[in-house]
């Protein structure tokens, strides 16, 4: 009888742990970026860089800020934001496939940032010092 009680308690404990794990994986909603929120996020991630130009992905789930010869990239990965940098020349040379620019970040956890482009918001940016949002 004791073994049956222990087995039942173990079953309840394991079921509770599975329920908590399932609940923790529910993604929280993240608002799309606009020019102000993208600048704020880039400034928080790269406080020592002054952003000259800003390009926002067509769906608002990523942005690229130009800081001199560097491209400061912030993009959505899962239910959070990831910030990385790469040379501006490499960012400009990134290919556009299936409506997305594929930025080679080179991070083992997230090797490529895929940001949506549109006719209103093409890649590479057409005009210097222009903020474009779709």
Read off the pLDDT of residues 62-90 as tens digits, 9 standing for 90 and up. 999 999 999 999 999 877 889 999 999 99
Q: pLDDT at position 129, please? A: 42
DSSP secondary structure code for residue 122 in this structure: -
Measured between alpha carbons, how far is residue 60 from residues 30, 32, 55, 77, 89 in Å? 10, 4, 10, 13, 23
| Residue written as token pair 């769906």 | 59
Cis peptide before 124 (omega within 30 of 0): yes
Q: Using CA atoms, how far apart are residues 45 and 57, in angstroms rounded to an integer?
A: 18
How is residue 60 written in tokens? Answer: 């608002």
Q: Where are the domains of the chain?
A: 35-116
Q: Pick the closest to residue 67 from 56, 45, 52 (CA basis).
A: 52
Q: pLDDT at position 83, please? A: 93
């Amino acid at each position: 009888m004791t073994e049956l009680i222990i087995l039942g308690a173990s079953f309840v404990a394991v079921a509770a742990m599975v329920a908590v794990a399932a609940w923790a994986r529910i993604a929280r909603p993240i608002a799309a970026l606009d020019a102000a929120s993208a600048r704020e996020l880039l400034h928080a991630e790269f406080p020592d860089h002054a952003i000259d130009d800003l390009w926002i992905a067509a769906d608002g789930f990523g942005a690229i800020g130009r800081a001199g010869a560097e491209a400061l990239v912030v993009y959505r990965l899962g239910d959070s934001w990831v910030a990385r940098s790469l040379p501006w020349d490499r960012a400009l040379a990134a290919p556009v496939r299936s409506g997305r620019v594929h930025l080679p970040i080179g991070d083992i956890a997230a090797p490529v940032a895929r940001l949506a482009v549109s006719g209103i918001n093409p890649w590479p940016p057409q005009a210097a010092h222009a903020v474009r949002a779709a």
